Chain A
Amino acid sequence: MSMENLGKEYFISRELSWLEFNARVLDEAGDKENPLLERLKFISIFSNNLDEFFMVRIAGLRRLLEAGFTGRDPAGLTVKQQVQLLRKRLLGLIRRQHKYLREDILPGLEAAGISIITYDELTGTMKSEADYIFESQIMPVLTPLAVDPSHPFPILNSGAIEIAVKLKTYDSKKTVYAFVEVPEGLPRFIRLTSTDKDTFIMLEDLIMGNLKHLFSGCAIMDKVPFRITRDMDFSLDEEGVSDLLQHIKKELTQRKSRQPIRLQIPVNSRGKLVEWVQKQFKIDDDFKYSTPGPLHLSRYAELIGSLDRPDLLDEPHPPLPHPLINDEKPVFKSIKKHSNIFYCVPFQSFDPVVKMIEEAAEDPDVLAIKQTLYRVSGNSPVVKALQKAAENGKQVTVIVELKARFDEGNNILWARRLEESGAHVVYGIAGLKIHCKALLIIRNTKGIIERYCHLGTGNYNDKTAKIYTDVGLFTNQEELCSDTAALFNVMTGYSAPMSKWAKIAAAPFDMRHKFIALIDRETRLSTPQNPGRIIAKMNSLVDPEIITHLYAAALAGVKIDLIIRGICCLNPGVGTRNIRVISIVDRYLEHSRIYYFANGGEEEYYCSSADWMPRNLDRRVEILFPVEDNSSRQIIQDILNFQLNDRRKGRNLSSKGIYSRTIARRDGASRSQDLTYEYFRKKYADAKEETQELKIFRKSPNL
């Protein structure tokens, strides 16, 4: 099937589909069976996601609008139509978000002894305490910015809450405007200790209540909080830039002056000051959002961190040790023993990955460590271990992706630290984002070369490994290690890409071709008696070419299950019932990419760092690797089965582009993330029991 025969009815608009994903996140905030603080977390995630969406996608659409772009997306929508539909849907979602917060969550928290009170509600000792905190801790870091002809219009940070103030000077009776930024570096929720309960006041509220201290000599006529979101979709012209690092630093400093894309202002704020703000930022009504409650809800997650209320959180699932990894021995030894060790975070622990790098740093037989780093946590143990290895004289090569969105500042910092310790830091390939997650360790033991590699779907980030579901494989399989080494050679510029890999496929080289060949093979092998089967789990499905081939397969009888957390541009159910799309949004962010092809009985399982999106297949370095040992394949199959049968958090996508919500209430026992955790817990318990029995058996003198 060629692209031309696939009409717009087969596609869903990418941006609308993303918004539907965020709506599913919001559903979790509304799910009354979720503990209160978990619901608050989803309120925060919803807002955080939306901020990024505005900064990048809506900003992009607006640029297209300004450029007079008249094209349509595969779903047949013009840019203007997309912007209008998005706004319409967004207004409803925002209303829902604030309703959940105002009517359910905050009253629920209040009932549980957690209050957020306004400045006006403060009385007696609490007010004195709050004012004291303002004077001693907050006021010193505030910088009011006057707006008058003698000063250039101030450049306000994107994302921070600003307070616009209208003043009248006592002496000259002149009207003056000023801005006060609510510092992002201070806690958003300020705990008041002069009460028994957990009582907080919000930072902006406390500042607004004390504004008079900032503007002595002036009468405060009006004040309004607002928030500006700026366009951050910058693309680098790497070809013409010799020092990528330098360029990004420059981009970071330029950000403040980028174009405002959204103005958020509380819903009841009216009057001249509001008009003045809107005029100053040149934002027309389509990009002004009246907020029916507090601003900047993404920072509500801070409240969770400042409370010690496990009763209001999900039951903890401490990451489980891996039954095949012996904690008392080096990780290499376990890999050597089992050849392949497959694991799944956050159900199983990410620690062995860190431990392996730490051990490599100290192992005298280790000669070299190579690793890709995309997003790492602050104070990352991975970076520390790599530093240590470099200091110990190992050849450490780190391929750093500086362009991991919104993380550039952090990345530059640790990249420099690694360089200083003697590691060879490579800043990616011009024009391509390094997104694959790979680690290769080379040992030379008495003349024998041993290579160990780790390939995964998630970043080398110990923090996100506790909240994202990802899979990974430790292996010493020669062909996988060899391919990984060759891929590193490409990324470091040591060698041209391989024309044929032994096991893997890599983007942007042959991955697209490989996926299409795998899909087409199912089409070819499918018969009415023995239909082909594809299960693909990913974050987003956008690529029109892949969608076309999937539809061709479905029309040829191939049964296709797509487990897609986020954007899905494939509209299922057009002319065939062979495609089912489900989405799981639950306590952990679904992040693993798993691809299964029945291949006429010779089943193939793959894992990848890539989604089926043009950016992954064409503009990033990605890896697709097969999982070939039976026990790992069984684990994948079991996890996929849990997900396909999740009637609690799995939502079906209908042919109208709408996700079901009702299923979510039906069957709590089928919740896939709970089942997966239980599955690994049992595996570990069984293995432990077996080890105990073996010890008893060995100890028994009569046997």
Chain B
Amino acid sequence: MTGSKTPPMAAGIIDLGAHSLRLEIFQLNKDRTYSGVENLSRQVNIGREVFSRGVISSDSINLICSIMKDFSLKLREYGVSYYRAVATSAVREAQNREIFLDRIKTACRIKLQVLDVTEESRLVYLAIKNNLIKNGCKFDARNILFLTLVTGSTGVALTKQGKLIESEVFGFGSLRLYEELGDKDFVPHRFNGVIDSFASSIDRELDAQSCEHNKEHHPLFVSAGAGVRLAAQLAGHELVQDSMVSLSVKELHKVTEYISGKSSEELTEQLGTVDYMIKSVEPSCYMLLQMCEVTGVNKVIVPAVSTREAIIEEMIRDIFDDEDPFTEDIVSTAVALGEKYNNDTAHGMSVADTALKIFDAMGRFHRLNKRNRLLLYLSGILHDTGRFIDCRKHHKHSYYIISNSQVPGLSDREMKLVALVCRYHRKSPPRSNHSEYMSLPDEDRVVVCKLAAILRVSDALDRTHQNKMKNAICRIRKDVLEIKAGGSLDLSLERLFMKKRVNMLKSTFGIKVALE
């Protein structure tokens, strides 16, 4: 992202997918509305290369560099100084992705950002949520199952009364099978088999995570993705900006039947799209039908939302300096993750709350941003997750459980930071022989130290699991962090535990702590 950010303004988004490289230039107005100005699309075939051979070929890199140069000129043509350039599944999985990104940066001065799977799901989820609310859906009152079918991966999420409780991303996309098997080897029954097992796995996930998820109270089933939108179009629905349509199981069957009798050339002409997108319709339909069968729902809601629009919405939030609307969902997913491992949620929340109070009081000492504040909060919630395995060394168990979990909205890097902060909430502080810590860049190591130091003290303050710090007030006086618990509480145990845990705070920030 670059440039000044004061609407009205021209902005742009470059989006490198498995099969195409696209640029959209849009006009953003003061009232947050936007309208497309230009939309460029060029075909690239890195999906096939990466999914079958693991790397982006030299020819493709050259081609992408040359297209990027064109796009760069196009951005200048409209005076666009603020844009975002993102890459999704194919680049994400390419073994030579660092070299590739560097080539792009050197050749065209465009910094391409690789979207994490969870980040992509978060953006699409938020866009869908906005779309549903705009279309009058009572988001808070329903349980909603989201299925995002993009070319290289599939995201599934479940909300309960407006809160996200489960989100997973599977490395199984609407087009991926074609790419991995190749057109010639593709046979529908083989494909069906894979989808069946995939749909069942989702259903098992849902059952495991949602105790109230049962076949009598079907969730609202919402699905996004190019293949899904094209299926809706083939069923005769029109998807204009901000709209949504309902696609019945019957219609899905009809579409499947219709496309099986048509050549991809005929469909390309009918739908006005490119060949590789047509190929995603059939797998998308199969996937939706299987999901309908497994979950017992009889219709799919298809909102007019794509990854690109989702990113544009995110850019608008960034331009207008909005709070991250996903924070609540991140927290609720983290709580759900903790509960999955039988965490004491009340304790986790208490530690997290206290940690925030200390964090806020110590602003001038740590100079960390809002996002780090959120990471600290999540570390508070999740720090004891490792107890699920064993109390002994549970900080280490927390580390690998968290670092191997997904929380939508958190990047891989952020997940790792949370895992490490939890890792250091007790026992030894970071050392040079801790490889997982040492693999971090310097600035991230500092973040881990600062947050872990605060978390240690916060955890000590709720050692009794009695939430005594509920009304605590934290402030800095000279070089002393004063924590006033309020009321006439017996804090002898807390003092004792704090004494054991305060060293890291002292050594990291050079301050003392007083508990009253």
Contact = CB atoms under 8 A, between A and B. Distances in A.
Identify the interface centre among B36, B37, B77, B271: most chain A CB within 10 Å of its CB: B77
Given A367-B77, A494-B74, A448 B40 contact: no
Contacts of B269: 499
A395 B8 contact: no
Contacts of A492: 70
B193 interface: no
B86 to A, nearest CB: 19
Nearest to A440: B77
A499 B273 contact: yes
A476 to B, nearest CB: 13
B434 interface: no
A447 B38 contact: no
Contacts of A448: 8, 27
Contacts of A442: 77-78
Interface string A417-460: 00000001000000000000000001010111101000000000
A29 to B, nearest CB: 50
A480 to B, nearest CB: 13
Contacts of B41: 495-496
Interface stretch (A4-12, A406-414, A481-489, A540-548): A481-489
Nearest to B71: A494
A449 B268 CA distance: 32
Interface in B42-68: 42-43
Interface string B1-21: 000001111100000000000
Interface string A292-323: 00000000000000000000000000000000
Contacts of B42: 494-496
A504 interface: no
A446 B6 CA distance: 10
B39 to A, nearest CB: 8
Identify the interface centre among A447, A485, A486: most chain B CB within 10 Å of its CB: A447
B79 A367 contact: yes
B272 A494 contact: no
Contact of B10 (A449, A482, A499): A449
A25 interface: no
Interface in A651-696: none
A446 B271 CA distance: 38
B77 A368 contact: yes
Nearest to A499: B272
Contacts of B37: 449, 451, 482, 485
B77 A447 contact: no
A500 interface: yes
B83 to A, nearest CB: 14
Contacts of B133: none
B274 A449 contact: no
Contacts, number: 60
Contacts of B7: 447
Contacts of A489: 38, 40
Interface in B253-272: 268-269, 271-272
A444 B9 CA distance: 9
B73 interface: yes
Given A367-B78, A494-B70, A499-B273, A444 B38 contact: no
A267 B74 CA distance: 62
Interface residues of A, number: 22
A496 B8 contact: no
Interface string A470-509: 0000000000001001100100111110011000000000
B431 interface: no
Contacts of B478: none
B76 interface: yes
A487 to B, nearest CB: 12
Interface string B21-41: 000000100000000111111
A368 B78 contact: yes
B4 to A, nearest CB: 9
Interface residues of B, number: 28
Given A482-B37, A485-B38, A444 B10 contact: yes
Contacts of B73: 395, 424
B2 to A, nearest CB: 16
B34 to A, nearest CB: 11
B272 A447 contact: no
Nearest to A443: B79
B135 to A, nearest CB: 25
Contacts of B76: 367, 395
Contacts of B268: 499
Given A367-B76, A444-B10, A496 B274 contact: yes
A interface, over-half SS: mixed
Contacts of B79: 367, 444, 449
A444 B272 contact: no
Contacts of A493: 70
A615 B71 CA distance: 32
B272 A496 contact: no
A486 B38 contact: yes
A486 B40 CA distance: 8
A485 B24 CA distance: 13
Contact of B40 (A444, A446, A495): A495
Nearest to B26: A449
A301 B197 CA distance: 83
Contacts of B8: 446-448
A93 B73 CA distance: 56
Nearest to A395: B77
A368 B7 CA distance: 21
A444 B10 CA distance: 8
Contacts of A424: 73
A499 B274 CA distance: 8
Interface string A382-400: 0000000000000100000
Contacts of A499: 268-269, 271-274
A374 B435 CA distance: 66
A489 B23 CA distance: 12
Nearest to B25: A449
Nearest to A481: B37
Given A368-B78, A444-B78, A486-B38, A500 B272 contact: yes
B231 to A, nearest CB: 17
A493 B67 CA distance: 9
A449 B77 contact: no
Identify the interface centre among B7, B41, B274: most chain A CB within 10 Å of its CB: B41
Nearest to A493: B70
Contact of A449 (B78, B272, B273): B78
Identify the interface centre among A446, A486, A489: most chain B CB within 10 Å of its CB: A489
Nearest to A365: B79
B70 A449 contact: no
A680 B39 CA distance: 39
A494 B9 contact: no
B189 to A, nearest CB: 32
A494 B40 contact: yes
Contacts of B77: 367-368, 395, 442
A481 to B, nearest CB: 9
A63 to B, nearest CB: 35
Nearest to B268: A499
Interface in B285-328: none
B238 to A, nearest CB: 13
A485 B25 CA distance: 12
Interface in A258-308: none
Nearest to A446: B8
16 contacts: A367-B77, A395-B73, A444-B10, A449-B10, A449-B37, A449-B78, A486-B38, A489-B38, A489-B40, A494-B70, A494-B71, A494-B74, A496-B41, A499-B272, A499-B273, A499-B274
Interface of A: 367-368, 395, 424, 442, 444, 446-449, 451, 482, 485-486, 489, 492-496, 499-500
4 closest A-B pairs by beta carbon, nearest first, are A499-B272, A447-B8, A444-B79, A495-B40
Given A489-B40, A494-B70, 11 more contacts: A367-B76, A446-B8, A447-B6, A449-B37, A451-B37, A492-B70, A494-B74, A495-B40, A495-B41, A496-B41, A499-B272
